[in-house]
Structures are given as C-alpha cells and as structure tokens.
Amino acid sequence: MAVDAVDKVQQLLTGNIDLWTGTIEQKSSAGRGNNGKKHLHGIKKLRELILELAVRGKLVPQDSNDEPACVLLEQVAVERDRLVKENKIKKPKKLPKIENEEPPLELPEGWAYARLGALINLVSGQHLKPTEYSRECIQDGIPYITGPAEFGCISPTFSKYTIEKRALAQTGDILITCKGSGIGKTNISNRTLAISRQLMSIQPLLINKSYIKLFVDSLYGYFQSKGTGIAIPGISREDITECIVIFPPLQEQHRIVTKVDELMALCDQLEQQTERQIDAHQQLVDILLGTLTQSQNADALAENWARLSQHFGTLFTTVASIDQLKQTILQLAVMGKLVPQNPNDEPASELLKRIATEKEQLIKEKKIKKQKPIPPINSDERPTAIPIGWSLLRIEHFLDFRKRGMITGPFGSALKKSEHQESGVPVWGIESIKHGRFTHRNKIFVSSEKAKELKAFNAAPGDLIISRSGTIDEICTIPAGTENGLISTNLLRVSLLDSIVMPEYFCFIFKGNDFVLERLEQLCAGTTRLFLNQSILKSLIFPVPPLEEQHRIVTKVNELFTLCDQLKDRLQQNQHTQLLLTDTLIQESLK
C-alpha cells in the first residue's frame, strides 16, 4: 500500500477520536442494584478495525526491498519437513489445493496467500481424567488448562497440574478455544502446558507469532459463526487449517506488529480516559440528585428541581443517569417530598376505621371469616419519620378482604409441565414484569378447564404481581383491558383495597422506599439467592399517605417519568446515529 494511502487510513483512525470514544452502547439500569452496563462500542470497533487493516496490508506501507512472501512460504515448507524428519512434529494431512479459489482479499505488493495450515503446526488438546491431574503443584508436573476461563489478560493462569504430556503447547504458542461459547478466543502460552480438548495450540513456522495471533484474532467472528446452530458450539481442525489467509513478507510482519501494538496502546489510553470521564460524570449525577432527596419539603424540592432542570441536557447524557433520575423521583414520591401535603386530606387511619366497621358487618353476616388480629407496629420497626397525615400500615391492613388478598402461585403437581400448552389461558411469570411494567411475555398457557381448576390463582386487571425469587423488587400492576390469567409458582398475587392504597402507589413504595427495600433484602436473604414469601411481606411496614395525596403523587410521577422517557428516547436516537457513523467510518477505511 502506498505511503499516501496509509496516511489516509491513519487519519481516519486517529482523526476521529471523539467519535470512537463517544460511541457507547448502554443498557437500562432500571431496578435496584443495577448499574447500567456500558459497552464502549466505538473503541471496540476501533480495535477490530485496526486488526482488519493490519491483515489487509493497509496499516503500514509496503517496501519493495522486502523478500516476497512467496519465498517465505517455500522456506516454511522446508522447515516443516525438517521438523517432521526430526520427529518434533507430526506429519500433517494434505491440505486441499486453492488453485481454483480466489484469495479472500486483494493481495498487496509482495504478499502471498495460502491455507493457514501451510504456515503453522496445529496441536489438538486431549482430555485428562480427574485421576490424571491435581489441583496441587506436583513434582515434575506441568500446568494443565482446560478452557478460556483460565485465560489471563495475555497468558493463562494455572489451577491444575499433571505429569501427562500427551498434548502440549510450548512457550509462545497461540492457544485457541475450539469448543464452547468462547470459540475463537486466544491467549499466549508463557510456558509448556498440557491442554484439554477444548483448546488447540497454534505453532507458527518461521512466521512472526504476534502477526499470526493478529490474523487469528481478526477471524474471531468467522469462528463464532462456524459454531452457531450446534448444541455445543465448536470448530474443527479443518476450520482452522483450511482457512485461506493472505500474509506479508516477514519484514513487513514485524512492522505491522509494531504499529498494531502502538495503536492498541492508544486504544487502552482512550478506554481508560473514557471510563474516568464516565466515573466522574456518575459522581456528579450522584451529588446533584442527592440535593433533591435532601430537600426539606415539596417547596424546597421545586426550587432544587428548577435549578437542576436547566442542566438536564448536559447532566443526563446516559441511559443509566436517566434511570437513576427516575429512581430518585420514586424516592421523593414515597418520602412525601414530591407533592405538597394538604391538611384537609383524610388520613389513611380514618379510612381504616370505616373499613373495620365494614369488616365486622360482613363477619356478622357470615360473608367472610374472622381474621387473626394484625400485629401492632413496634417502635423498632418504624422508620425515623413520616410526613404529617401519613400512616404506618402492614400490608394486611389494606389487602382486599372480600377475596384471598394475597396468594403464591401453584406448586408442584398443582400445575404439571405436561399440562402446559402453546395457547389458551396465559400463565404469567417473572418474564411478565419488565422495569415495573406488565408485558405479555408469558411462556406458558393452560386449557380453560385447567384454569377453572386453578381459579384461586387468577390474576385480573388491578392486581399486583411480584417476583418471589432472585429479583424480588420486580413488581407491576396488571393494566386495565388485560385478559385474566394465572400466576406461576415464581409470583405472588396481591389484591389491594384501592380505597386505602392505590396499586400504582404501592408499586412506588416497593421500588423506591429505602426503608422497605433494605428490610426486604434483609428478610429475603437466602443461601444462594433472595427469596420472598407471604410471611415476609406481612412483616413489612409501609408508609401510606392519604388517598387524595396518593392520586397527586401518581399523577406527578407519571408526568415526570414521561419527561424522562422522552429524554431517554432522544439520547438513544443520538447514540444510534453515532453507531451508524462509526460503522460508516469503518466501511470507508476498508475501501
């Protein structure tokens, strides 16, 4: 490649730093404890582009004084014959000819093409029985590695040792994963190793080892595609050895490796710089949102919000920060700081008195059974303070007593796998709750006859469904217009007296009240994962405002959430544009 063309490529790489560092793919952080995963898409693509340009001969200029690669290919053949005669390597299978096939890429001056197997010796790993290795270092033993889980940043880490020397990788060999989800991942052996059948060892013959690793790394997507559609993904020896490669003269290989190392070091710096900027931005978001939650009342909050809203465009520039803003809104709502209190609102405690009278009448009429007394709330169970007019209640205070107000989904033989259908009455599961909203993503259906048999587990519009295992703060209201369905064993169904607590407001408490959430996590802690049951829910204390205030809170939260969602939509559109620009730049570089 001519010097001026190389300079153009260099300008594309280094002259668009803002685009490479600014193109970030982000996933929502909705939910307690989630941080919003960030994927530095631009820098990842830059690394891939550097590899692609390197193996296409577009990263450094060619030098007509370099010995042509076709001569190197002849020297490799001689070297292989020598190693076979000396019993240092096995004689390989004959490779298919490529005389009728086009080279995969345009050949730069002085380059040649061949099957990868013509340039390397490939060693397949072998499985060792548990009796053939130890987790303790043994005399005369060597490390034994079984897969990419033991790959370090550059070289493997060791946790097993063996004296069996059936399939060995030597110092400097390129280890490649050939089985499992990590196929195509590579590492460099830093000593003699025994390798399992999940790995192969690539031993370049007279070819620059670092260059061969660059080429193999550039084939990662190709190897991944070869393993799709298979129960256990994998690539064969032939997938590696029969791959057609173009390769430069040895001197150019050295220049390419030096340039790639230089550019990858730049990528490392950009990555660190971008991550530092993201961390600094997150600290700023934390501090400024903290000023909102520390507001003394709704009036003070309005002032702080007005100041903050002037900087929304520069402050909330990530999906994670917008999700954090939404979580702060929930916190403010359930702290009583989002809307002003009205002394004329009827407290929930007064509503409870009327409900108690109604209950007594229904018990006298034998329409409902007498219930156990609700335990009093002890002083050590109370939060530090609640707003004037609010009440502290247990969930039993506002469960719908006219039916079974809370129930766990059917266990075991109540709903057998053989009774599942592809259509019919839906059975809602954890997948039906997404970011506090109901989704029709159920995986199971049952017949109408089975649904009648399990009618106690029915969930109707207005009911709440709550995840019982793992993500215990996942909760949503079944919206109006949704067909009746059943709950699965992984859910709790809660039916509330909406004359005391609005279902939407209860979701806010469950997702946004730190006092409730911290207590919930303490009580649900299990051996392996969090687990929620009815007893735990009954033991929780919920701060409940007057019903009129709940309506004002729900209206305000929905209004602010709509603004947040609009902000997120604009952000995601901008990010999509950046992704397209990055991909366009890559295509331009490869022309």
Q: Exposed, middle or buried, 54 (CB in 10 Å: 0-12/13-18/19+)?
A: buried
Q: Exposed, middle or buried, 74 (CB in 10 Å: 0-12/13-18/19+)?
A: exposed
Q: Enter the tokens of residue 372.
A: 């156990």
Q: How much is the average pLDDT of 202-211?
A: 94
Each residue's pLDDT tens digit, 550-574: 999 999 999 999 988 988 888 888 7
Q: How much is the average pLDDT of 150-167?
A: 88
**Nearest C-alpha neighbor of 543 from the set 328, 382, 313:** 382
**Nearest C-alpha neighbor of 120 from the set 49, 201, 62, 64:** 201
Q: How much is the average pLDDT of 176-197?
A: 92
**Nearest C-alpha neighbor of 177 from the set 148, 152, 150:** 148
Each residue's pLDDT tens digit, 54-75: 888 888 899 999 999 999 999 9
Q: What pLDDT is attached to residue 458?
A: 92
For the chain, which residues make up each domain, given as ranges? 3-266, 348-544
Question: HEC string of 62-100?
Answer: CCCCCCCHHHHHHHHHHHHHHHHHCCCCCCCCCCCCCCC
Q: Enter the tokens of residue 367.
A: 């329409």
- Distance from CA of residue 272 to its chain's centroid? 21
**Nearest C-alpha neighbor of 536 from the set 527, 549, 526, 545:** 526
Q: How much is the average pLDDT of 238-244?
A: 92
Fold for the domain defined by 3-266 = Adenine-n6-DNA-methyltransferase TaqI; Chain A, domain 2 (3.90.220)
Q: Enter the tokens of residue 402.
A: 């006219």
Q: How much is the average pLDDT of 142-153?
A: 90
Q: What pLDDT is attached to residue 18?
A: 62
Beta pairing class for 186-188 and 244-247: unpaired
pLDDT confidence of 286, banded at 50, 70, 90?
Answer: confident
Q: Please give the C-alpha separations between residue 438 and each of 433, 466, 476, 569, in angstroms, as whole numbers.
A: 5, 11, 6, 20
Residue 276 CB neighbour total at 10 angstroms: 10
Q: Name the β-bridge partners of 393.
A: 542
Helix, strand or coil, per DSSP, at residue 179: strand
Q: What pLDDT is attached to residue 21?
A: 64
Residue 248 region, left (φ>0) first, then alpha (ψ -120 to 50), else beta?
A: beta
Contacts of 529 (CB under 8 A, 6+ apart): 469, 470
The stretches of 336-385 forming alpha helices (DSSP H) are 348-364
Each residue's pLDDT tens digit, 266-275: 888 988 888 8
Q: Which CATH code is given to the segment(s) 348-544?
A: 3.90.220.20
Q: Contact 519/540 with Cβ under 8 angstroms?
A: yes
Q: Please give the C-alpha separations between residue 498 and each of 129, 355, 366, 405, 564, in angstroms, as whole numbers.
A: 63, 12, 23, 12, 27
Q: How much is the average pLDDT of 17-36?
A: 56
How many angstroms separate the CA atoms of 22 and 227, rounded? 32
Q: Of all residues in the chain, what percent are helix, strand and coil, respectively (each to 5)?
A: 45, 15, 40
Quote the mean pLDDT of the chain: 85
